[in-house]
Structure 1
Amino acid sequence: MTSLLDPLVLAGRTAPSRVLFGPHETNLGRGRALSERHVAYYARRAAGGCGIVVTETASVHGGDHPYERSPLAADCGPGWADVVAACRPHGALVLASLGHTGAQGTSAYAQSALWAPSAVPDVATREVPVAMEQPEIDALVAGFAAGARIAVGAGVDGVEVDAGARSLLRQFASGLTNHRGDAYGADRPRLLREVLAAVRAELGSGRVLSLRLSCDEEAPWAGITPDLAVERVRELAPLVDLLVVVRGSGLAASAYRPDGHTRPGFNADLTRRVRAAAGGTPVVLQGSVVDVTAAQRALDEGVADAVEMTRAQIADADLVRKARAGVPVRPCTLCNQACQVRGVRNPLVSCVADPADGAGLPDGAGRRVTVVGGGPAGLEAARVLATAGADVRLVERSDRLGGALRLVAALPGRSRFADLADWLAGEVARLGVRVKLGKTAEGGDVVATGAQRREGLTAADALAGAELPPGPVVVHDPVGGPVGVGVAELLAAAGREVTLVTPDAVAGERLGGDLGPANARLARAGVRRATSSVLCSAGDGVAVLAGRWTGEERWVPCAVLVNAGPLLPGDVPQAAVAAGDVVAPRTVLEAVLEGRRAARALLSG
């Protein structure tokens, strides 16, 4: 039986495991080149046992500039060479991802018309692209070939061609976006075959050619359907050495890497069908596979030959090494909070479970430390201190560790935050931290006692299972994050009449990739959304709202008001190092990061 930890031979090259680290936006670049931060990022996963590292997708033409720090293949040669040099000692294969986003890009940076098979406005940006003529098509194919040539010169083990959710090659292959009357319209996969042939000519037979292929656009009226994809795979699979099965399109961008509202491994049935049609070409399962056991099950059941575990390895770079050693893996929460970075703020890729701070770990041997608070900040502080060799005592006033992580886990789609709480609690136990539950402490070296509650019913009360009075509920959400939306969903699912009030133009404005799906869920649950509205007062069975722009007042039924706004910071003794919500109530990301920094500051002091 094949193990996830077994080697995989591709084009005569051997990957040390069947775990992939797939291409994703990182914002780690310098200009449009791969930087030393990229090198360290990929090397860390290679050192952790990853079998195949696929670098961030590089545009094959200068007119494709989909986000500010997006790599350009012409500028990536030195970076690819450095990544190879850093990963090769660990045995991982390095594939350079090449692509072009076409109409799903932006003209904001290149200041030129977007390329597309047809002049169909993008569903997200509404921008109208230019329909490519033969000179542009020839330039695109030449761009893929040139990118492959540069990658070969850098010593990569192969190239992955992107025909996935955001790619121009998918747009050519789809009836949604390809309305051409020429040969590229009559035979929609033609351009993809031409690109694969051009890249293969540069790679030869001794390097890996991988294809990332959208096999379900989730638009069955005109798009690529599983049936159509399986038919095409019979033709495409012999042209490549590896096939990565993905979902998604412009209409369903979140289908590529959805959050916890979508079951992990959602792509398994489709991947199994594609593998049956692939004629022996190794196939990779992609799609929220974040658990080693689930990944192994996919191999056992014949779903795939390898598994892409990108977010799982963002959460724990040592996933494969830990799996070999039988050590618990830090869990991915599938929240997309810090690892989805393509947006107007351009943050660096990170993870709520493992937020990198770039600091080393001083020696803590002989230190005796007290951490007050057993939420995410306190647990992370205790874990880091104990890892450094300190003698750690952790005091928590409740009868269970986890703090806010346990509350967040009650939100729809956020259950994996409980797994993070369990992992942190397990780690402090494994490292010998002395835990005192149901106790309070006057002071401590690290204080992570969390936020103070506000008066009235809060989102935390609703998530903790507090019994609410009967009648219509108004959830006031001045933040626009997952809490207000999640509490509204939760209460509506319990049969309550719910109105979600937000000053923003759309509910959950800060949800990023979950914005559209979240509003669809609210609509299905029957939640009324009072957008662009300010809560003026609540009482006597009604809530008074005012239009954010007009000031016009209106009334909605309200027997219960739930405040989903931020809580208040706590009190910190002057001599202590504080971390998390006690400093300023924010998210799990900041709590874990500050817990880590507090531990290091204490050890360095």
Structure 2
Amino acid sequence: MKLTDGVRLGAATAPSRVLFGPHETNLGRGRGISDRHVAYYAARAAGGAGVIVTETASVHASDWPYERAPLAAECGGGWAAVADACRPHGAVVLAGLGHAGSQGSSAFSQNALWAPSRVPDVASRELPMELEQGEIDELVEGFAAAAESAVRAGMHGVEIEAGQHSLLRQFLSGLTNQRADAYGEDKTLLLRDVLAAVRRAVGDRVVGLRLSCDELAPWAGITPEQAGGVVEAVAGRIDYLVVVRGSAMGTSATRPDLHTEPGFNTDLCKQIRDVVSACPAQPLVVLQGSVVEPEQAQQALDDGVADLVEMTRAQIADPRLVGLVRAGHPERIRPCVLCNQKCRVRDNRNPIVSCIGEPFSGHESGAPEPAPAARREVLVVGGGPAGLEAARVLAEGGYEVEIVEKDDRLGGTALWAAEVGGRGRLRRIVDWLEAEVRRLGVRVTLGTEVTEADLIGTRRDVLVAIGSVPGPRAYEIRGGLVIDVVDLLEHHAVPDGPVVVSDPVGDAVGVGVAELLAGQGRDAVIVTQDQVVGTQLALTGDLADANGRLQRAGVRLEKRSLLREVHPDHVVLEDTFTAQRRTMPCASVIHCGHRLSSPDLAGWPRAGDCVAPRTIHEAILEGRRAAHEITALVGGGVR
């Protein structure tokens, strides 16, 4: 069977074996499914997704896990709009339904969290209330009512959440279920009751189950062997099963970043599929686990690991994924690098789901229409992500484009970002952009620096995307060696002796450089003013894992410290709380601070780091915006 083949799920037929799974988007208005959701899901349906599961909606008002979390009671109209928008493309569209239980938030509801037992949540430390029979009955009825509402709205069915962030998983787990009643004696009882009630409510419509089959806490949590028993107990009530892992004990386990290899759940999924194969009723099995490449997804089907493959982040990066595979052009799929920088949005700032390589993801309802081609000429100065993206968009619009880059290769600072420890996948964005501009016939000139004199009088439109320069250093250099991180990653030699990584930013750069040095056998120290190293990594889910990697690698963590002086054989650090100073042996300092925009070619339209150095996402976004601004110009573009 091929990834692009259709597949039967219950009474419905999906046009491919690729699933777009439920995830937080912050696209909601209030607690309903919005027009932004509709455009977002419709784009994936148009791109060939076989099954689309909408953002998990809370089935009971007691559950309000994040500010814009959908509430099933308010989703009927939105579900209907999603179903209507996706129907012409043939996708099977399901409503995600769940309850976060003790992993929710009381900040919005200002009510006690629901849980099977009075066990404090390991992340929030909040003590929940223990459900009594009345609340349990309400919960079961809530699932049934939500499922009935979804199919009445035109959805093909529902997917029930019993994965990492769910009350149903909490009832299945010895970590959180310490009850002495029937729900404690038989931990599958609530899940079986919910699925039975949902099946009665939806009839022959699709019922899927997302199940945590390994909580990675074998001392009390769900193990793969125990999960097999759960599957045997519920197999007859579901049409498909999504195999996931994780619990509140390890929140990065279900959706890790690029440090975890794609397809990490393959062995677990195969183990559970073997259990399913022995059941009288055999639901289809879905592989989940950072699968972002069609080749790996197809291999899972060929090896009998699963019947369908979830490729959620891959379709955030490129909604056209299935269509491009079907057309025989998988090389044109925009890569997902698994960085979690813009698609992981459980954040009190409420960022909208997006992608560093495809900044219009999450913004489909407001994306500009391409302007008619005008056969004009455009010069893009700088071949980093901003320049490459601008050139790509302009060339697709029919413009004659030339990129001039002063270095001997394209990619700009994205290339050295990919050299940082554990972040090699970032190179795939640069490789894809370069392949696209060359496919589209963009003229590329390398090893040439453009000056102001070169631009005066040009009849071409000009876009400047020349990147950044090293930024200020808030410490005194008294004879010691300080190496900028870019110079280091461009293979600057580092002398023998202790290396201090100065990390005033707290993102992946300082942490990755320290890991890189430690991996080379160097005596590495990372200095941060924060109480935790790499604080910004909380946004991508890598904070705890990153600190663990640093300590296992032997990197010394100097927290709550400011670098004040650099000397030939030592540095002076200052405690951020007490201002007390201390010295530390040091042969060289690697500076991982903020950079500044390049001041060259001021006055011309600019994009990316030469506006303000930030991330690849902002560079690509501004490159695309600049391209659209050029296509909207009227006249010859003469300066």
Contact 1:577 1:602 in 2 (8 A): no
For residue 504 of structure 2, the aligned residue among 478, 488, 491 is 478
Does 2:476 align with 1:461?
no
**Are the equivalent residues in 2 in contact too, given 1:447–1:572 (CA < 8 A)?**
no
Distance in 2, matches of 1:363 and 1:416, equals 35
Tell me the TM-score normalized by structure 1: 0.98
Residue 465 of structure 1 deviates from its aligned partner by: 2.3
Q: Is the 8 A contact 2:470 2:594 kept in 1?
A: no
1:464 maps to amino acid: E
Aligned to 1:9: 8
Q: What are the superposed Cα offsets for residues 139-162 of structure 1, whole Å, 9 maximum, x if unpaired? A: 111110111111011010010000
Residue among 355, 358, 364 paired with 1:354: 358
Q: Is the 8 A contact 1:60 1:144 kept in 2?
A: yes
Residue 149 (structure 1) aligns with:
148
- Does the CA-based 8 Å contact 1:262-1:413 persist in structure 2? no
Residues 376 and 592 in structure 1, CA contact (< 8 A), matched pair in contact too: yes
Structure 2 counterpart of 1:77? 76
Q: For 1:435, what is the secondary structure of its paired residue?
A: strand
- For 2:238, the equivalent position in structure 1 comes to 240
| 1:403-424 alpha-carbon deviations (Å, 9 max, x no partner) | 2221111123322111111110
- The residue number in structure 2 matching 1:267 is 265
The equivalent of 1:569 in structure 2 is 597
Q: Secondary structure at the match of 1:298?
A: helix
User: What displacement does 1:182 show?
Assistant: 0.7
**Equivalent residue, structure 2, for 1:132:** 131
The answer as to 2:344 corresponding to 1:340 is yes
**SS of residue in 1 equivalent to 2:487:** helix
The match for 2:384 is 375
Q: Give how far 1:235 is off.
A: 2.0
Of 445, 449, 461, which aligns to 1:440? 449
After TM superposition, give the deviation of residue 437 of structure 1 in Å: 1.1
| Partners of 2:252 and 2:4 in 1: CA distance | 29
Partner in structure 1 of residue 118 of structure 2:
119
Contact preservation (8 Å) 2:471, 2:593: no
Q: Where does 1:100-115 land on structure 2 (aligned, <5 Å)?
A: 100-115=99-114
The DSSP-based 3-state class of the residue aligned with 1:578 is coil
Gaps of 5+ in 1: none
What is the alpha-carbon distance in structure 2 between the residues aligned to residue 454 and residue 74 of structure 1? 52
Q: Counterpart of 1:467 in structure 2: which amino acid?
A: A
Matched residue SS, 1:177: coil
Alignment of 1:165-564 (within 5 A): 165-205=164-204, 207-279=205-277, 280-327=282-329, 328-356=332-360, 358-442=367-451, 443=455, 445-454=462-471, 456-512=482-538, 513-564=541-592
Aligned to 2:631: 603
Distance 1:461 1:123 in 2: 42
Q: Distance in 2 between matches of 1:466 and 1:395?
A: 25
What is the one-letter code of the residue matched to 1:283? V
Q: CA deviation at 1:572?
A: 4.7
1:450 Cα deviation after fit:
0.7
TM-score (structure 2 length as normaliser): 0.93
Residue in 1 aligned with 2:618? 590
The more displaced of 330-339 and 522-531 is: 522-531
Partner Cα separation in structure 2 for residue 373 and residue 33 of structure 1? 43
What SS class does the counterpart of residue 514 from structure 2 fall into? helix
Query: Once structures 1 and 2 are overlaid, which stretch shifts more, 83-92 or 525-534?
Result: 525-534
Separation of aligned partners in 2, 1:376 and 1:114: 45
Please give the alpha-carbon distance, in whole angstroms, between the structure 1 residues aligned to 2:261 and 2:483.
31
Alignment partner, residue 63 of structure 2: 64
Aligned equivalents of 2:581 and 2:120: distance in 1?
38
Supply the AA of the counterpart residue of 2:578.
T
User: Greater CA deviation, 588-597 or 226-235?
Assistant: 226-235
Deviation at 1:574, TM superposition (A): 4.5
- Can you list the C-alpha shifts for 1:382-402, whole angstroms capped at 9, x where unaligned? 000101110000111111111
- For 1:153, the aligned partner's letter is R
Distance 1:19 1:521 in 2: 33
Spell out, residue by residue over 1:292-350, the C-alpha distance to the aligned partner (whole angstroms, 9 max, x if none): 11100110111100000000000001000111112220000100000000012110000
Distance in 1 (alpha carbons) for counterparts of 2:597 and 2:411:
18
SS in 1 for 2:252: helix
Distance 1:164 1:571, change over 3 A: same
Q: Deviations over 1:174-226 (max 9, x none)?
A: 00111111111111111111110111111102x10000000011111110111
Q: Match for residue 476 of structure 2?
A: none
AA paired with 1:94? V
What is the SS of the residue equivalent to 1:424?
helix
- C-alpha distance in structure 1 between counterparts of 2:415 and 2:600, whole Å: 23
Indicate conservation of the 8 Å contact 1:405/1:421, yes or no. yes
Q: Which runs of 5+ in 2 are unaligned?
A: 456-460, 473-481, 634-639
Mapped to 2, the partners of 1:575 and 1:477 lie a distance apart of 33
> In the aligned structure 2, how far is the partner of 1:237 from the partner of 1:510?
42
Kindly provide the amino acid, as one letter, of the partner of residue 480 in structure 1: G
Query: Percent identity, aligned pairs only?
Result: 58
Task: Please report the RMSD computed on the Cα atoms of aligned residues, expressed in angstroms.
Answer: 1.1
